[in-house]
Amino acid sequence: MLGLTPDELGILALSLRVAVVSVICSLPLAILAAFALARLSFPGKTLVDAIIHLPLVLPPVVVGFALLVLFGKRGPIGSVLNDWFGIVFAFRWTGAALASAIMGFPLMVRAIRLSIAAIDQRLEVAARTLGGSRLWVFVSITLPLALPGIITGVLLSFARGLGEFGATITFVSNIPGETETLPLAIYAFIQVPGGDSQALRLSIIAVVLSILALVTSEWLTRRSERLQGDDSR
Amino acid sequence: MIAVDIEQRLGAFHLEVRFAAEAPIVGLFGRSGAGKSTVINAIAGITKPGRGCIRINDLFLFDSVKGIDLPPEQRRIGYVFQDALLFPHLDVESNLLYGQRLRSTDERFIEPARVIELLGLGTLLRRKPKALSGGERQRVAIGRALLAQPRILLMDEPLAALDVPRRTEILDYIERLRDELRIPIVYVSHSVPEITRLADTVVVLSEGKCLAVGNVDAVMGRLDLKPATGRYEAGSLVDTHVTAHDSEHQLTTLTFDGGELIVPRLEVSIGERVRARIRARDVSLSVQRPTEISILNILPGHVTFIDDETGPVVDVQLSVGSATFTSRITRRSFQQLGIHSGQELYALIKAVSFDQRSVGYA
Count of beta carbons in the 10 Å neighbourhood of residue B221:
24
Q: What's at B14, amino acid-wise?
A: H
- Cα angle A178-A181-A187, degrees, rounded to a multiple of 5: 120
> Is A230 close to B130, i.e. CB distance below 8 A?
yes
Segment A13-51, tens digit of pLDDT: 999 999 999 999 999 999 999 999 999 999 999 999 999
**Averaged pLDDT for residues A192-204:** 91
Confidence of residue B230 (pLDDT cuts 50, 70, 90): low
Q: Do residues B173 and B249 share a domain?
A: no
Q: Do residues B202 and B308 share a domain?
A: no
**Averaged pLDDT for residues B275-300:** 89
Q: Do residues B150 and B130 share a domain?
A: yes
Segment A2-12, tens digit of pLDDT: 678 888 899 99
CB A131, CB B148: distance < 8 Å: yes
The DSSP bridge partners found for residue B262 are B253
Size of interface A-B (CB pairs under 8 A): 70
A229 contact residues in B (CB cutoff 8 A)? 88-89, 128-131
What's B295's domain CATH number?
2.40.50.100
Q: Do residues B19 and B99 share a domain?
A: yes
Please tell me which of the candidates B44, B88, B148 has its beta carbon nearest to residue A229.
B88
Domains and CATH numbers, chain A: 6-227 (1.10.3720.10)
Confidence of residue A1 (pLDDT cuts 50, 70, 90): low
* Strand pairing report for B201-206 and B25-29: parallel
Which residue of B lies nearest to A231 if distances are taken between CA atoms?
A: B130
Q: Do residues B248 and B316 share a domain?
A: yes
A133 contact residues in B (CB cutoff 8 A)? 71, 73
**Averaged pLDDT for residues B15-37:** 88
Residue B192 phi/psi, 5-degree rounding, is -60, -45
Residue A153 phi/psi, 5-degree rounding, is -60, -40
Q: Do residues B63 and B187 share a domain?
A: yes
Residue B358 has pLDDT above 90, yes or no: no
What's B21's domain CATH number?
3.40.50.300
More confident residue, A83 or B223: A83
Q: Do residues B93 and B198 share a domain?
A: yes
**Averaged pLDDT for residues B207-230:** 77
Q: Find which of A119, A129, A226 to mutate to test the B interface (most B CBs within 10 Å of its CB).
A: A129
pLDDT of residue B226: 67
Q: Find which of A130, A139, A227, A231 to mutate to test the B interface (most B CBs within 10 Å of its CB).
A: A130
**How far is A43 from chain B, CA to nearest CA, in Å?**
23
Q: Do residues B149 and B271 share a domain?
A: no
> Is B89 close to A144, i.e. CB distance below 8 A?
yes
B46 contact residues in A (CB cutoff 8 A)? 125, 128-129
pLDDT of residue B232: 46
Q: Find which of B43, B83, B85, B142 to mutate to test the A interface (most A CBs within 10 Å of its CB).
A: B85
Segment B144-180, tens digit of pLDDT: 999 999 999 999 999 888 887 788 888 888 888 888 8
User: pTM of the entire structure?
Assistant: 0.77
Segment A66-101, tens digit of pLDDT: 999 999 888 888 888 888 888 888 889 999 999 999
Q: Give residue A1's Cα distance to chain centre.
A: 27
> Is A130 close to B144, i.e. CB distance below 8 A?
yes
Q: Do residues B274 and B220 share a domain?
A: no
Q: What's at B196, amino acid-wise?
A: T
> Is B46 close to A130, i.e. CB distance below 8 A?
no
Q: What is the mean pLDDT of chain B?
A: 87
- C-alpha A141/C-alpha B304 separation (Å) is 57
Domain hosting B264: range is: 235-361
pLDDT of residue B357: 59
B107 reaches A (C-beta below 8 A): no
Please tell me which of the candidates B44, B73, B77 has its beta carbon nearest to residue A132.
B73
**How far is B72 from chain A, CA to nearest CA, in Å?**
5
3-state secondary structure labels for all residues of chain B? CEEEEEEEEECCEEEEEEEEECCCEEEEECCCCCCHHHHHHHHHCCCCCCEEEEEECCEEEEECCCCEECCHHHHCEEEECCCCCCCCCCCHHHHHHHHHCCCCHHHCCCCHHHHHHHCCCHHHCCCCHHHCCHHHHHHHHHHHHHHCCCCEEEEECCCCCCCHHHHHHHHHHHHHHHHHHCCCEEEEECCHHHHHHHCCEEEEEECCEEEEEEEHHHHHHCHHHHHHHCCCCCEEEEEEEEEEEECCCCEEEEEECCEEEEEECCCCCCCCEEEEEEEHHHEEEECCCCCCCCCCEEEEEEEEEEECCCCCEEEEEEEECCEEEEEEEEHHHHHHHCCCCCCEEEEEECHHHCCHHHEEEC
More confident residue, A68 or B221: A68
More confident residue, B234 or B57: B57
> Is B81 close to A132, i.e. CB distance below 8 A?
no
pLDDT of residue B362: 40
* Strand pairing report for B152-156 and B13-21: unpaired
pLDDT of residue B273: 82
Segment B284-296, tens digit of pLDDT: 999 999 888 999 8
Give the residue from B210, B227, B244 where a domain finishes. B227
- Residue A3, helix vs strand vs coil: coil
CB B15, CB B8: distance < 8 Å: yes
**How far is A228 from chain B, CA to nearest CA, in Å?**
4
pLDDT of residue B234: 66
pLDDT of residue B346: 93
> Is A133 close to B73, i.e. CB distance below 8 A?
yes
B66 reaches A (C-beta below 8 A): no
Give the residue from B194, B227, B260 where a domain finishes. B227
> Is A144 close to B77, i.e. CB distance below 8 A?
no
Q: Do residues B182 and B284 share a domain?
A: no
DSSP result, A89-158:
-TTSHHHHHHHHHHHHHHHHHHHHHHHHHTS-HHHHHHHHHTT--HHHHIIIIIHHHTHHHHHHHHHHHH
pLDDT of residue A145: 93
How much is the ipTM here?
A: 0.82
Domain count, chain B: 2
Segment A115-148, tens digit of pLDDT: 999 999 999 999 999 999 999 999 999 999 999 9
- C-alpha B2/C-alpha A53 separation (Å) is 51
B72 contact residues in A (CB cutoff 8 A)? 125, 128-129
Which residue of B lies nearest to A225 if distances are taken between CA atoms?
A: B89
Give the residue from B227, B252, B282 where a domain finishes. B227
pLDDT of residue B304: 87
Q: Do residues B281 and B325 share a domain?
A: yes
Q: Do residues B143 and B247 share a domain?
A: no
- C-alpha A2/C-alpha A219 separation (Å) is 24
